[in-house]
C-alpha cells in the first residue's frame, strides 16, 4: 500500500480526533505509505498522478455514495468505507474495527466486491446532460405538483404507461434504500441486475420489475409544466421539463468495495434495516 487516500466528511469529525486516530493506525501498519487526507466534499476537484492503492472513506452512507460518483471512471481503486455516521449500511467496517481491518489488508485477508453504477443521460431541446449513481436514479414530481405521467421503455419496447408520484431505478446496492421503502425487493449487492420501482402509482398494473443490467431504460415524464425532478443517490437533483427523455443504463465502470472474511450481508441487513 504505497498511496493511501483518506477522504473525511468533516461534519462527522469536527474536532479531528477520529482522523488523528486513523492516521496513527495507518502509520503503524503501513509505515512507508504516503497518506493524503482530503475533504470528502471536494474529492472531484483533486487529480492524482500516481496509482492509488486504497481509498479510505470516513463518514456515513451519504459520504461513500458521493465519493463513488466522484471517482467513477477516474480511478480504479478499492474503497474501504469506515462508518462514523449514523446508518452505515454501505460501510465495510465500524470505526472501532479500523486497526484490525488494516492488519487484515496487510495480510491479504480481504475481498473486493464489484458494485454496478448507473449512468443517466438527459436528452432535451437545449443539450444533453449526464449523471451517475451508485444507489439509484429517481424521477419524481415536485412537492406541490400533480401526478406525473410516465412512459417506460425497456430496450426500445414499451413496458408500461402510468401515472404516479415517481419512479426509482436502483442498483442492487440501492435496493435497501428508497426502492425498498417504495416496495421494491432486496437484491444481493453483487448480483448483476437493475430494479425499477414505481412511487405511489395510480395504476394498479404498474409493479416493480427486475431487469438484466444490460437493459437500456428510456423514460419520458410529463407533468403538464409542473415540476419534475431527477435525483442521483438522493444527493444531486436537477429539474427537468416535459420535453426531456431520460436514458438509464449500467455504467461501464464499477465501484470496488473492500470487504473482509467476517462480513455477513444478512447480519448487516438485520441490524441496520430490518430490526430498526
Task: Give the active site residues.
Answer: 61
Q: Could you identify the residue written with the cell 446532460?
A: 129
Q: What is the DSSP string of the chain?
A: --EEEEEE-GGG-TTSHHHHHHHHHHHHHSTT-EEEEEEGGGGGG---SSPP-EEEEEE-HHHHHHHHHHHTTT----EEEEE-SS--SS-SEEGGGHHHHHHHHHTT-EEEEEEEEEEEEEE-SS-EEEEEESSEEEEEE-TT--PEEEEEEETTEEEEEEEESEEEEE-TGGGGTHHHHTTPPP--TT--EEEEEEES-SSTT---EEEETT--EEEEEE-TTS-EEEEETTTEEEEE-TT-EEEEEEEEEEEEEEEETT--HHHHHIIIIIT-
Query: 128-133 and 110-123: which strand pairing?
Result: antiparallel
Distance CA 165, CA 38 (A): 38
CB-count burial class (<10 Å; 0-12, 13-18, 19+) for 129:
middle
Asked if residue 121 lies in contact with residue 240, where contact means CB atoms within 8 angstroms, the answer is no
Amino acid at each position: 500500500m504505497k498511496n493511501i487516500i483518506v477522504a473525511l466528511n468533516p461534519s462527522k469529525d469536527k474536532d479531528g480526533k477520529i482522523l488523528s486516530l486513523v492516521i496513527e493506525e495507518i502509520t503503524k501498519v503501513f509505515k512507508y505509505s504516503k497518506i493524503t487526507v482530503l475533504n470528502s466534499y471536494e474529492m472531484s476537484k483533486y487529480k492524482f498522478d500516481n496509482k492509488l492503492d486504497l481509498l479510505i472513506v470516513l463518514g456515513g452512507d451519504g459520504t461513500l455514495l458521493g465519493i463513488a460518483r466522484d471517482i467513477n471512471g477516474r480511478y480504479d481503486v478499492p474503497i474501504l468505507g469506515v462508518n462514523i455516521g449514523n446508518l452505515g449500511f454501505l460501510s465495510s467496517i465500524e470505526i472501532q474495527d479500523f486497526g484490525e481491518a488494516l492488519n487484515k489488508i496487510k495480510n491479504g485477508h480481504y475481498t473486493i466486491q464489484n458494485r454496478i453504477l448507473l449512468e443517466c443521460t438527459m436528452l432535451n431541446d437545449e443539450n444533453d446532460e449526464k449523471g451517475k449513481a451508485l444507489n439509484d436514479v429517481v424521477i419524481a414530481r415536485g412537492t406541490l405538483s400533480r401526478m406525473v405521467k410516465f412512459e417506460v421503455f425497456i430496450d426500445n419496447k414499451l413496458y408500461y404507461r402510468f401515472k404516479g408520484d415517481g419512479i426509482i431505478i436502483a442498483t442492487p446496492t440501492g435496493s435497501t434504500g428508497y426502492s425498498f421503502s417504495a416496495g421494491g425487493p432486496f437484491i444481493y449487492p453483487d448480483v448483476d441486475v437493475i430494479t425499477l420501482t414505481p412511487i405511489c402509482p395510480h395504476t394498479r398494473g404498474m409493479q416493480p420489475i427486475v431487469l438484466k443490467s444490460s437493459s437500456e431504460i428510456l423514460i419520458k415524464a410529463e407533468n403538464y409544466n409542473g415540476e419534475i425532478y431527477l435525483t442521483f443517490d438522493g444527493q444531486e437533483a436537477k429539474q427537468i421539463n416535459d420535453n426531456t427523455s431520460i436514458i438509464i443504463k449500467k455504467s461501464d465502470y464499477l465501484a470496488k468495495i473492500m470487504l473482509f472474511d467476517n462480513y455477513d450481508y444478512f447480519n448487516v441487513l438485520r441490524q441496520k434495516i430490518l430490526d430498526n
